[in-house]
Structure 1
Amino acid sequence: MSTEGRGRTAGPDGAGPGVDDAIRAMLLLMPRVVGRAKRIPVPEELRSLALAPRHLSLLSCLLFDGPMTVNDLAARLEVAPTTVSLMVGELSRKGVLERREDESDRRRRVVSIAADRHRPISDWLAPGAAAWRRALAPLTPDQRRMFVGTLRAYESALAEERGA
């Protein structure tokens, strides 16, 4: 993957790094970001639960947005409701989540973080949300949209490169 002699010029608008320079910067930055995230210690109360990355996304949604239905969670996580239902069932059996009737529609169930698990989950995940807030708050809505869109495009392209 030689890019020798490329990418030293500014982008097409004359401002900012060329594509190859931006790639170099991201190749240095991404492992540090992932490494830093992996070093966030799991609270003692949660260590025995064998939480996977898919659980962290679900817990982050509930922590950030509060209780919601399985269908709402599925929409936020961009997965099928059956996938969320399986995760909710698993985490409910472990005492991490609670399901209760929706007061406005008794046919629906609302999912929330169990009261005794809320503090350790918040202590664990809230700093990540706070860091994203600090990083994204100074940007304009269009810049935030572009940043999130770029990360989505990268994730999609990486999946294509890996054949996943």
Structure 2
Amino acid sequence: MSIKGRGRKANQDGSEPAVDEAIRALLLLMPRMVGRAKRIRVPEELQSLALAPRHLSLLSCLLFDGPMTVNDLAARLEVAPTTASLMVGELSRKGILERREDELDRRRRIVSITDSKRPAINSWLSRGARAWRQALNPLAPEQRQMFIQTLQAYEAAMADDEGD
């Protein structure tokens, strides 16, 4: 498909952007957003740990939602439990995560961020969380849901195009 599509026209008063106009705006905005995210400085104590984007998602879940089982992490990350377990193992070996017995069910293991790494991870990831809160807070719940679904649809369409 070419860049030029069949966009819906804006209202005569110009209040609603046509699809092509919105695409142009997003094609300019997305690289700037990615660039800003990449420039967020990794705290010095975490720089040598070679953290990847998949690790950031896992750390964000634990930071926002607190300690949880590997299966709960896998469900939140939308990955297989074995994938989540491998990531937890990798981050545990690096001293970022710890696994402990669940006091209520000794067969279960609870994963959490180590106390020593929590401040650095919190300061690193909180900037993005604050920016998202500022952007999403004025929206109604339905608008936030639509925004999330739109980003998910975009990501899925990009994944579909990788097969071409």
- The DSSP-based 3-state class of the residue aligned with 1:88 is helix
CA deviation vs aligned residue, 1:70-119 (integer Å, no higher than 9, x gap): 01100100000100000000100110000001111111100000000000
> What's the % identity of the aligned pairs?
73
> Hey, what's the Cα distance between the residues in 2 that align with 1:155 and 1:32?
17
Task: Structure 2: state its 5+ residue gaps.
Answer: none
Task: Structure 1: state its 5+ residue gaps.
Answer: none
| Aligned-residue RMSD, C-alpha | 1.7
Q: Which amino acid aligns with 1:72?
A: D
> Hey, what's the Cα distance between the residues in 1 that align with 2:43 and 2:98?
20
In the alignment, what sits opposite 2:74?
Answer: 74
Task: Give the structure-2-normalised TM-score.
Answer: 0.93
Q: Which amino acid aligns with 1:132?
A: W
Task: Give the structure-1-normalised TM-score.
Answer: 0.93
Alpha-carbon shift at residue 2 of structure 1 (Å)? 5.2
Superposition pairs of residues 1-164 of structure 1, within 5 angstroms: 1=2, 3=4, 7=7, 9-10=9-10, 15-163=15-163
Alpha-carbon shift at residue 3 of structure 1 (Å)? 2.5
> Hey, what's the Cα distance between the residues in 1 that align with 2:29 and 2:110?
39
More strand by share: 1
- Point out 4+ residue stretches in structure 1 off by more than 6 angstroms: none
